[in-house]
Amino acid sequence: MDWLEGVQIAQAASRQVPEVALRAIDLAGQMARQLGADVFVDAHFSKASTFRSRGKLRLQTPVADWLNADAARLAVIATVDEKELIESSADQSQVVLHVDASASEATLFAESGLADLLGDPARAALIPRGDYAAGTVALAVLAAITSLVALRRRGGRADIAHIHARSVLSWVNWKAAVAGDLGRDLRREGARAEWPIIPCKDGHAALIYQERDWRNIVAMVGDARLAETRFGSFRGRAAHREEYMAIIRDWTAARTKSALMQAFFEHDIPAAPVLDAQDLLADPLLRHREAFESVTRESGKAARSPRLAHRVAALGEAQEAKNPRGGPLPLSGLRVLDLGIITAGAGVSALLADLGAEVLKIESHTYPDPFRAWAGEAVSPFFKSNNRNKYGLALDLKTERDRARFLALVETADVVVENFRRGVLERLGIGYETLKSVNPSIMLASISGQGLDGPGAEASSFGSTLEASSGFSARVCYDDGAPYTTGRNVNYPDQTVVLYAAAVIAAAVSGGTRGMHLDVSQRDVTVYLLGEEIERVSAGERATDVAVTQSASVNKGSEMYALETAACTDAFATDPDGNLVKGFPFQFQQEPMRVRMNSPRVGEHTDQFCA
């Protein structure tokens, strides 16, 4: 849907802006164009018809003159000068991307500490080949654009959003900052990673699983030795790692990526083969989702290009808004019911809360957010980052009484965010059709690993599963070709979907009050960032070279946090209790976002909202 229809955006840059910043703004502009905006570019951007630049218009006047000609216009500028802004009146919106003149894909990954989590600890850190740093920054720029559009449409105000390129990647790497602040830096683990990548007959596969999945792995491999008591616990497997991994490696080595994908799905294991661009073009689920569209390259060759990562699965009715519009922040007055867990869902609603929405986190005492106790820790220090600025409600949605209380809240809400496994909402009796019957203008935003439907869409997955299946891991490797994932330390698609989903939700709610079921796929977000490579491969052109190893200084999590603190950026913040938490991927100049509330206890505010 063209939620940005009528919006005019200009892309501009000052002198000496590095290529990575131009690519970031170009990609953000392309996403905005695909959301319905008219996008204009200045002379810093290529005239060629490429994945990032296709369909844009040329500025015919200086960007300052263009911006000031219409109060509703918005400018996006990249600059190496901290003080540089376009001269404009107070009612003009701008997104300003600040970047060092020496910035590149390599330096952004190195300084943010992300490189420190990729590769083997005995070898140099790895930098993904492609546009992943630029792409991550682009997602933050898109979120800033749609937030400013929402502020204009809902509040009648303008503001300036400031983004620091390095700080966006540091924000993505927030777990490393929290761990570093506690005195335990996260580091890359290579072949001894909890979730290793192992060879198969025609490539590699990422062996990703939880403790509860071990029995399914034993059944899948079908080797009686794996059922021995010494392998039956996490601690036992750690003590005998080489023995059990040798059995699994022998099994995967005899099977193709396609066969492994089917086996993982049949045994409900969140593992995945490592796919490259060619694999993605033939992938049955991506074909079902019509993830690629036909385009013509500058060379005249026909190619395939990724579509945006969301779909509108169903529409409700246009209704009068439930909550008052206007306020100091773009989403002030919006009520969000948060069924999200861990990062992909809870992180989206956290950013919506930062942008001004009133977010009610729905858990139960019998099923709290698993992130409260994560990776064997009774009280996870990571939970606070995805749940500050929220109210906490305890509702057991399996009971008729609390389901009725939840639906009463739906009547007053604008958005419901969820990232459960497919089918869970329907089994609880709160699927979209039920929500729509209570509130026709409600938006149900489903943040899923691979989308709502299609072959294999219901397969369980984690962020690193999606790194393997989206093409990301295939582009993180040494010369020997062995790929890597970020593992629990980052789970890269979990972080980037937060930016994308918050961006499209802001665009949709500001574009009208028509209800809908919004389907956002984490995998599709990551596939989209591979757009240039997918176009080249689909056109039969030469693929890009192998990944880059980083030999310059690579920051640890604590060093990255110290760098952001010294630079006074907003990538990290403290909650009212003084705990270090994830901050903001961008910041507004006139009305800054703030961490106003601690993360709630389960049910801390139930009586306040369900009296």
> Helices H, strands E: what count in the chain?
22, 23
Please give the backbone phi and psi of residue 257, each rounded to the nearest 5 degrees, phi first.
-60, -40
Strand partners, 360: 337, 391
How do strand 548-550 and strand 125-127 relate by DSSP bridges?
A: antiparallel
Answer whether 490's CB lies under 8 Å from 463's CB: yes
Both structure tokens of 593: 């976002």
Residue 554: strand, helix, or coil: coil
Answer whether 125's CB lies under 8 Å from 116's CB: yes
- Residues 306-336 as b/e (b if ≥16 CB within 10 A, e otherwise) read bbbbbbeeeebeeeeebeeeebebbbbbbbb
Nearest in space to 474 (alpha carbons), one of 129, 109, 209 = 129
- Residue 124 and residue 419: Cα distance in Å, rounded? 36
Answer whether 142's CB lies under 8 Å from 76's CB: no
- Residue 77 and residue 386: Cα distance in Å, rounded? 29
Q: How many C-alpha atoms does 528 have within 13 Å on its Cβ side?
A: 28
**Secondary structure (DSSP) of 72-117:** T-EEEEEES-TT------TT-EEEEEE--TT--HHHHHHHTTSGGG
Active site residue 494: yes
Q: List Cβ neighbours of 92 (8 Å cut-off, separation of 6 or more).
A: 67, 68, 71, 73, 74, 75, 86, 158
- Residue 389 and residue 295: Cα distance in Å, rounded? 43
**Secondary structure (DSSP) of 475-486:** GSB-TT--B---
Nearest in space to 424 (alpha carbons), one of 409, 406, 446 = 446
Phi-psi region of 510 (alpha: psi -120 to 50; beta: other; left: phi over 0): alpha
Q: Which of 494, 524, 570, 575 is catalytic?
A: 494
Phi-psi region of 338 (alpha: psi -120 to 50; beta: other; left: phi over 0): beta
- Residue 463 and residue 493: Cα distance in Å, rounded? 5
- Residue 273 and residue 510: Cα distance in Å, rounded? 39
Query: Tokens 């100091």 correspond to what residue?
Result: 328
- Residue 97 and residue 23: Cα distance in Å, rounded? 12
Phi-psi region of 384 (alpha: psi -120 to 50; beta: other; left: phi over 0): alpha
- Residues 409-439 as b/e (b if ≥16 CB within 10 A, e otherwise) read bbeebbbbbbbbebeebeeeebebebbbeeb
- Residue 48 and residue 46: Cα distance in Å, rounded? 5
- Residue 310 and residue 501: Cα distance in Å, rounded? 8
Which residues are the active-site residues? 494
